[in-house]
Amino acid sequence: MILKATIDAFRGRNRWIKLKRIHLIEKNGVYVIFMPDDDRDLNEAALRNIDRFLNYRKGNSVVILTTDAWVLKNAADYSKRIIAVETITERDLFYYISYYNFSYFGFSDRFVLMSLKIGRGTRLAIVENINTIIKEEMVCLGLYIIRDWA
């Protein structure tokens, strides 16, 4: 079981290295936003705030990885700083998440997991609709971690 988890994480690592090489992530200030959920409100809030996120983090552009057809179709309408929107398979999703979970502190500060079902977003999902907290606030404060967001 531990061996299988390690192999899955290694496969995710290989995919991450390939993605870094293709888009020159470390060299050009490129961030990767991973949108595995089919939650349209969450994904739309994330897309609306990409420019704020990049300005806050001093990034240049973003690559979006998604399993959601709506994001694939509409992402380019939200920001000119989106350089690529790529669909990934469920298997690739599993490998990326295996690598993400295997790396205790996260494997890169250039990778943002935009999900309320996976990773630290599961804790945010608990507070949804409590004290009028909306998904836009969860995206900006909890997942993008934009400290000066108002």
pTM of the model: 0.86
| Alpha carbon 15 to its chain's center | 15
Domain ranges in the chain are 2-143
Q: How far is 64 from 90, CA to CA, in rounded Å?
A: 15
* Class level of CATH domain 2-143: alpha beta
pLDDT in tens, the chain (150 residues): 788 888 998 898 899 899 999 998 888 889 999 999 899 999 999 999 999 999 999 999 999 999 999 999 999 999 999 999 999 998 998 898 888 887 765 567 888 889 888 876 776 766 666 667 777 888 887 788 887 766
Note the pLDDT of residue 129. Answer: 65
Whether 144 contacts 49, CB under 8 Å = yes
Whether 33 contacts 64, CB under 8 Å = yes
Closest CA to 113 of 18, 33, 23: 33
